[in-house]
Structure 1
Amino acid sequence: MGPLWMTLLLASTLGFFAYTATRRWNLMRVAQRPENRADRIGERLAGVGKFVFGQARMPRYWWAGVAHIAVFFGFCVLLLNSIMLWVRGYVQHGAGAYDLWLFGTHQPLGMLYNFLRDVFTVLVIAGVLVFFYNRVVLRLKRLTLNTEGLLILGIIFTMMVTDLIYHGVELNRHYGGSHASMPFASLIAPLVGTSAALHHFGFWVHAGLVLLFLNLLPYGKHFHILTVVPNIFARNLAPSGRLRPIEDIEGRLERSETLGVKQVRDMSWKDVLDLYTCTECGRCSDHCPATRTGKLLSPKHLTIALRDHLYHDEAALVAAARNRTPQNGSDQPAADEKLLLVPATVKPEVIWACTTCAACETECPVFITYIDKIVDLRRHLALERGEFPEQLGTAFQGLERVGNPYSYPNEQRAEWAQGLDIPIMAEKGETQYLYWVGCAPSFDDRSRKIARAFAQLLLKAGVDFAILGPEEMCNGDPARRAGNEFLFQILARQNVETLNNYKVRRIVTTCPHCYNTLKNEYPDFGGKFEVVHHTELLAELVRAGRLRPSRPIDWTVTYHDACYLGRHNQVYDPPRELLGAIPGLRLAEIPASRDRGMCCGAGGAQMWKEEEAGSTRVNHARMQQLVDGLPASGSSRAIASACPFCKTMLTDALTDKGHEDVRQLDVAELLWQSVGDDV
């Protein structure tokens, strides 16, 4: 009867799995935007090794990470055990059946494998108990606390216990009740005896649960067990701060083609694979500034909502993909209201709350991208439907008319430099460094102090530099992050043309948003420059002895990592190096720093709109983290930053919450105070 039952079990379960997998494959093909993820094969394979088999991101949450590592490697080891059990369904049970192929109990390879299997069975049980504790006792808010999670944990736990029971009976029947290669099964053996019922129970329950588990995977968050390898292999290898451009945007407008993402078919297969791979661990939302301040946006819930839409409307999505008809030169299906992602699946308030800070993407252990998806939804709203927060319209108008979101005449761009005798490119023609000032340091009074301090430091160090002055336009970051890709590309092409006309090769900027756009996004439009942040250049000048901080500053400071300098571009050490070079200055590192630093709330075009409703403001929450890292009182407290937008947001928060005694300065301002005299 064994072979018959095993054949029926395998045929039914594997057949049903093939049916489900085919449905998931066809659903992924609904997404029509092309995406090439077959480049840089070596780098992709190395990523699979590091992040799948090396589990590199898991320990960022220590206990859950260690538990997952135990379960992951346990599954890798025990996969062979499950295959061997299925094979034993076709052979006579007994000592001969137990000594299968090269893995016989008395063979060296078999003894090694049996030991690993035995140890990892117990490690998997320990890992499962940690997960049970997190869900049942701690009830961690970041987790999705539903029946599915408990069911899967129960199945895994039962699989491990029944395997120990089966091998315990095997030891009693054929190996005298114990074996050195199976220490834990040997402990179980006295409890199970030689019972044929327990032997069959352990065998068939384990063999069947593995196949049941396989069939449950495509219906929930554990689908990642199958999709994580291709998802990490196909992960985004472009710079973190680079948004994917809309190619041939003018042509698409003329042909009335979809801009951004209106429905699932406008996504790519990789976007859908992301949705399949979400583990619902909640690490993304645990660090999302919008989620932490009570906004509607939760990266985890956004992913789940999109995935639920895929599964719930599967038939309609597949039918629409098959029956699409050309319209006005495009390849779009007739509009179906329930297939529109906004607002049917995602509320507008959700996508407009994102600061594009990349905290979610930094934490995600399976490399899901969120920012591109959110910006693609914004693009559809902004470019096709003209639906965006009212305040963004004012910023767009300023960018269109005068080249800056403040709507100040662009002729005023160099007014911040009055009295410093800084050369203009139109007059100088050639320079070692072009100082790209940016809009905030050009027009905002507080940010102008950053530009003046930095420029005076360059002059004191004898650096050859110049500015564009009125020829500089906004880099376009606010428009692009707000979804107005058309306006961004106009500004980008104008700026690239200006820079290329002057044969600019090196650019330094005090704004991380300018830094990111010039460095990571302008190459898509023909602008290939060496771009450095002002803290990088200043640190180099201090190391070279061209700037010598000498005046003591007896302050304790906390440092705020700007998202587009830190997480997006990995510039963490130069600002700290500069602060450490100032005599008397004490840097107090807070837990929420470096790649776990919280956003100030200005990114993702939030600087130019009202913040979405929540329990508190993002800048207030971030300011409090930084203030809590300072001494309780005293006049020598300060927050340092390296971004003009961060300076604005943190200064406003200090004022709003009555912390006027805490200073807020850019690193360049602090360095200038220590370096010295007027130039």
Structure 2
Amino acid sequence: MLPAIPTQAADEVTRKTFWLISSYEKVLFYFLATVAVFVFAHGTYRRFGRYAEGSEDWFDRLDDLPGRIASAAKIVASNEKQFNRDLVGGLMHAFILWGFLTLLIATTILFVDEWYRVFTIALGDRQSFWVGDFYLSYQLVTDALGLLFVVGLGIAIWRRYVVRTERLWGKHTNWEDAFLVWSLFALGVGGFLLEGLRIVGAGEPIPTVEPVSFVGTATALGLAAFGMDASAAATVYPVAWWSHALLAFLFIAAIPYAKPFHMLSSFANVVTRDEKAGARLPGIPSDLDATNAESIDDFSWKELLDQDACTKCGRCSSVCPAKASGRPLDPRDVILDLKSYRESLEREGGEEKEIVAADGGVIDAATMESCMACMACMDACPVEIEHLQSFTRLNRQLTDQGDIQPSMQDVFQNVMMKGNTFGDSPSARANWTDDLEFEVTDARETEVEYLWYVGDYPSYDDRNKKVARSLAKIFEHADVEVGILYEEEVYDGNDIRRVGEEFLYLEQAGTLVDSFEACEYQKIVCTDPHSYNTFKNEYPEIDFEEFADDPMMEFEMEGFWNEDGDVEVYHWTQAVEELVDTGAVALDGTELDYTVTYHDPCHLGRYNDEYEAPRELVTATGCDLHEMPRNRANSFCCGGGGGGLWMELDEEEKPSEERLREALEDTDAGGAVEKFVVACPMCMTMYEDGRKTGDFEDDIEIVDIAELIVEALETSGATISASTDADASSDAAPADD
């Protein structure tokens, strides 16, 4: 005689939790459950304990912990980053996450109710809350979310093993990936199979047993269609039940030792994220004995957590312009190579290696030279891995070891000796102003509203000098009080910092801040997004006093500069957008009729979330703006960042060439695009070079937004001071100037 399973017509509808499971089996079940939980807890403790052995991170990542947890919960629960660039992948992950959490909560409810019954029996009155409407709601929700769980896993299996989505496969793909997806799929399907067997085993008309359990009922109807009756269901059920339970215990126990650990480490990684990661980098101690990446123990606990949080999803790899160009960089592999090396050392017999070296290191020097510091990998990462922090650490180690290209060594030497990356005389820095009909104010002598940091390329590169003169004309036309530092301006240090030359960056920063402090101004405006980022996000992080006693640091600044953000820092497009809005720069949007596309600079867009000001200016000139397919946060780097402007690299196709092809072939306007518009001196240089090497010289012109604005003002009849150079010329310095 089979135990009765009440139908929904009963007043107190419920079902037996351990149907056909004996008391002895029940004891064994709880014993195995305890063992699984113990193994899980022990492994998790050891994994998180390992982070304590990492070096201290550079800032407090646990401040306002409740707020951090709430913010992380929103990010994780909404799956907002999984939906980025991949709708199907986002839905897949959302179904799996929400389904898993629902089934976990459902299992917890069963556990609590079971022990609630034991407790009430001890008091002489057996009770349960898992009855009636609560039970019916429970069954409906678990069936619905359980179905989404299985569907999500089915999509994951399809993408990985049928269509074989490229980014899901790599050199670190192994049994863990298969174990995660197949074990969860088996648990999801197994749960519905058990439900179907139980309903068939009731020995009553299937649709009347538990119609609210619509997936279980459908499964039962399927089993019955294959000839299964109540007796057969009762025979199969215990075997299926134990198989399901043992697989669940195995999964729980394996979580800290395999890929499922990302369920914990990823959430912890989101909790401890730096909202400005990449835009600012950790500093280094003034202690010259400090090491950067001589051993895995030099990495901070957050960097170790980054390694464990990686899910191998390949999103970073799929958006990396270096990888797309054939350079030997795969952001995912760098993180996972470090993790694999760390784990090999934790096992007995692991061979110690150099962390990064030109030959034989865990990470090859050429791999790190390939990074453009564009931050696309970080923007795409759904679990907030801070690739650039680890990459900069590796680059600093390469610099310490002297394992850098001769071309970069020349740049370092130029900066040390001349204060600029060109190695030209500091007295020639403001020579670009000679061809203007007006004099640009000397901010060292006159109080100004805007202190204009011009930058190296607009000061020394012939093509970018034209852009600087255009911008100067705009400021003059708007009657804005703008001044420059003339020969006391030095290189800001942004890119050499990302290549690994931290001390030289600090020396440049101190020297430049000394010049800032000697002037009277209200705001700083930058030509280059790289300068804009470093002034806005990095200089305020430097404690100059820590390096004041270093004889190599010839600056007077002590303490922090602009720590409270009292000095506003602008990219020039932001400042000029305000001038257009106030009418100081009068454009009515009809002056020009070019068909153009615009390229988002990495340091302005992804780094600082400024996308609209440049577009507003382009459309204000009357140009017909057509967006690139990869735009805003998904913009594809020009290839010049992270020292790429100065390095000699083997590439299948330059990023700049691919980007120009995209402009001419993949935008809505296609070949009708006349001008490729930029807002960054490095982008100007890289795209002028790519226009030549990619044979696009007859197809498209590279222009800066400032040049469009000056042309629009001239077209409208506004008074614009002239200059003696041919502003329309597109002569450019080669990318390795």
Question: CA-atom RMSD, angstroms?
Answer: 2.4
State whether structure 2 residue 537 is matched by structure 1 residue 520. yes
Map 1:115-134; keep pairs closer than 5 Å: 115-134=140-159
Map 1:461-476; keep pairs closer than 5 Å: 461-476=478-493
- 2:44 counterpart letter in structure 1: A
Q: 2:194 aligns with which of 159, 166, 177?
A: 166
Q: Which residue is equivalent to 1:327? A: none
Provide closer, same or farther for how the CA distance between residues 608 and 527 of structure 1 changes in structure 2, counting only shifts above 3 A.
farther
User: Residue 492 of structure 2: SS of its match in structure 1?
Assistant: coil
Q: 2:62 aligns with which of 23, 30, 38?
A: 38
1 CA distance for matches of 2:349 and 2:479? 63
State whether structure 2 residue 719 is matched by structure 1 residue 666. no
Q: Which residue is equivalent to 1:82? A: 107
Of residues 560-569 and 180-189 in structure 1, the stretch that sits farther from structure 2 once superposed is: 180-189
Q: Which residue is equivalent to 1:402? A: 418
Q: Which residue is equivalent to 2:405? A: 389
For residue 512 of structure 1, report the CA deviation from its aligned partner: 0.2
Q: Which residue is equivalent to 1:138? A: 163
Map 1:358-373; keep pairs closer than 5 Å: 358-373=375-390
- 2:460 counterpart letter in structure 1: F
Q: Which residue is equivalent to 1:572? A: 611
Provide closer, same or farther for how the CA distance between residues 100 and 672 of structure 1 changes in structure 2, counting only shifts above 3 A.
farther
Provide closer, same or farther for how the CA distance between residues 101 and 647 of structure 1 changes in structure 2, counting only shifts above 3 A.
farther
- 2:180 counterpart letter in structure 1: I
Of residues 636-645 and 173-182 in structure 1, the stretch that sits farther from structure 2 once superposed is: 173-182
1 CA distance for matches of 2:662 and 2:229? 60
Map 1:53-202; keep pairs closer than 5 Å: 53-60=77-84, 61-83=86-108, 101-104=128-131, 106=132, 108-144=133-169, 146-173=174-201, 176=204, 177=206, 178-190=209-221, 191=223, 193-194=229-230, 195-202=233-240
List per-residue Cα deviations over 1:344-398 (Å, max 9, x = no partner): 3111111111111110100100000100100111112213x12211111110011
Provide closer, same or farther for how the CA distance between residues 646 and 274 of structure 1 changes in structure 2, counting only shifts above 3 A.
same
> In the alignment, is the contact (CA less than 8 A) between 2:597 and 2:677 conserved in 1?
yes
List per-residue Cα deviations over 1:186-216 (Å, max 9, x = no partner): 1122326432233223422222222211233
Provide closer, same or farther for how the CA distance between residues 193 and 67 of structure 1 changes in structure 2, counting only shifts above 3 A.
farther
1 CA distance for matches of 2:394 and 2:202? 64
TM-score (norm 1): 0.90
Give percent identity, aligned residues only.
30
List per-residue Cα deviations over 1:52-73 (Å, max 9, x = no partner): 1121111121111101100100
More helix by share: 1
Map 1:117-516; keep pairs closer than 5 Å: 117-144=142-169, 146-173=174-201, 176=204, 177=206, 178-190=209-221, 191=223, 193-194=229-230, 195-238=233-276, 240-247=278-285, 249=286, 252-253=287-288, 256-258=289-291, 260-315=292-347, 337-338=352-353, 340-342=355-357, 343-383=360-400, 385-418=401-434, 419=436, 420-428=438-446, 430-516=447-533
Q: Which residue is equivalent to 2:685? A: 648
- 2:77 counterpart letter in structure 1: F
2 CA distance for matches of 1:372 and 1:275? 12
- 1:51 counterpart letter in structure 2: I
Of residues 662-671 and 414-423 in structure 1, the stretch that sits farther from structure 2 once superposed is: 414-423
Q: Which residue is equivalent to 2:16? A: none
- 1:9 counterpart letter in structure 2: L
Provide closer, same or farther for how the CA distance between residues 446 and 371 of structure 1 changes in structure 2, counting only shifts above 3 A.
same
> In the alignment, is the contact (CA less than 8 A) between 1:221 and 1:277 conserved in 2?
no
2 CA distance for matches of 1:273 and 1:348? 23
> In the alignment, is the contact (CA less than 8 A) between 1:240 and 1:569 conserved in 2?
no
1 CA distance for matches of 2:471 and 2:492? 20
State whether structure 2 residue 592 is matched by structure 1 residue 553. yes
Provide closer, same or farther for how the CA distance between residues 647 and 43 of structure 1 changes in structure 2, counting only shifts above 3 A.
farther
Provide closer, same or farther for how the CA distance between residues 125 and 41 of structure 1 changes in structure 2, counting only shifts above 3 A.
same
Provide closer, same or farther for how the CA distance between residues 29 and 183 of structure 1 changes in structure 2, counting only shifts above 3 A.
same
Of residues 621-630 and 266-275 in structure 1, the stretch that sits farther from structure 2 once superposed is: 621-630
Q: 2:74 aligns with which of 47, 50, 60?
A: 50
Provide closer, same or farther for how the CA distance between residues 83 and 631 of structure 1 changes in structure 2, counting only shifts above 3 A.
closer
For residue 632 of structure 1, report the CA deviation from its aligned partner: 5.0
- 1:257 counterpart letter in structure 2: A
For residue 316 of structure 1, report the CA deviation from its aligned partner: 6.6
User: Residue 31 of structure 1: SS of its match in structure 2?
Assistant: coil
Q: Which residue is equivalent to 1:322? A: none
> In the alignment, is the contact (CA less than 8 A) between 2:592 and 2:621 conserved in 1?
yes
> In the alignment, is the contact (CA less than 8 A) between 1:294 and 1:614 conserved in 2?
yes
Provide closer, same or farther for how the CA distance between residues 619 and 513 of structure 1 changes in structure 2, counting only shifts above 3 A.
same
Q: Which residue is equivalent to 1:627? A: 664
Larger Rg: 2
> In the alignment, is the contact (CA less than 8 A) between 2:598 and 2:627 conserved in 1?
yes
Provide closer, same or farther for how the CA distance between residues 672 and 133 of structure 1 changes in structure 2, counting only shifts above 3 A.
same
1 CA distance for matches of 2:452 and 2:674? 31
2 CA distance for matches of 1:203 and 1:92? 22
User: Residue 648 of structure 2: SS of its match in structure 1?
Assistant: coil
Of residues 478-487 and 137-146 in structure 1, the stretch that sits farther from structure 2 once superposed is: 137-146
> In the alignment, is the contact (CA less than 8 A) between 2:116 and 2:128 conserved in 1?
no
Provide closer, same or farther for how the CA distance between residues 669 and 427 of structure 1 changes in structure 2, counting only shifts above 3 A.
same
Q: Which residue is equivalent to 1:323? A: none
User: Residue 363 of structure 2: SS of its match in structure 1?
Assistant: coil
Q: Which residue is equivalent to 2:33? A: 10
2 CA distance for matches of 1:124 and 1:668? 52
State whether structure 2 residue 650 is matched by structure 1 residue 592. no
> In the alignment, is the contact (CA less than 8 A) between 1:378 and 1:482 conserved in 2?
yes
- 2:271 counterpart letter in structure 1: F
For residue 160 of structure 1, report the CA deviation from its aligned partner: 1.3
For residue 130 of structure 1, report the CA deviation from its aligned partner: 0.7
List per-residue Cα deviations over 1:465-514 (Å, max 9, x = no partner): 11111111111113211101000001111111111122444111110000
For residue 620 of structure 1, report the CA deviation from its aligned partner: 1.7
1 CA distance for matches of 2:376 and 2:341? 25
For residue 146 of structure 1, report the CA deviation from its aligned partner: 4.1
For residue 174 of structure 1, report the CA deviation from its aligned partner: 5.5
- 2:300 counterpart letter in structure 1: S
> In the alignment, is the contact (CA less than 8 A) between 1:588 and 1:630 conserved in 2?
yes
List per-residue Cα deviations over 1:414-467 (Å, max 9, x = no partner): 111123311111221x11001110010000011111111111001101111111
> In the alignment, is the contact (CA less than 8 A) between 1:516 and 1:565 conserved in 2?
yes
2 CA distance for matches of 1:274 and 1:100? 47
Of residues 31-40 and 109-118 in structure 1, the stretch that sits farther from structure 2 once superposed is: 31-40
For residue 43 of structure 1, report the CA deviation from its aligned partner: 4.4
For residue 317 of structure 1, report the CA deviation from its aligned partner: 11
Q: Which residue is equivalent to 1:331? A: none
List per-residue Cα deviations over 1:273-321 (Å, max 9, x = no partner): 1111111110001000111111111011111111111211114799xxx
Provide closer, same or farther for how the CA distance between residues 73 and 401 of structure 1 changes in structure 2, counting only shifts above 3 A.
same
- 1:376 counterpart letter in structure 2: R
> In the alignment, is the contact (CA less than 8 A) between 1:171 and 1:179 conserved in 2?
yes
> In the alignment, is the contact (CA less than 8 A) between 1:291 and 1:298 conserved in 2?
yes
> In the alignment, is the contact (CA less than 8 A) between 1:27 and 1:314 conserved in 2?
no
For residue 524 of structure 1, report the CA deviation from its aligned partner: 1.7
> In the alignment, is the contact (CA less than 8 A) between 2:277 and 2:386 conserved in 1?
no
Provide closer, same or farther for how the CA distance between residues 575 and 229 of structure 1 changes in structure 2, counting only shifts above 3 A.
same
Provide closer, same or farther for how the CA distance between residues 76 and 655 of structure 1 changes in structure 2, counting only shifts above 3 A.
same
For residue 7 of structure 1, report the CA deviation from its aligned partner: 3.3
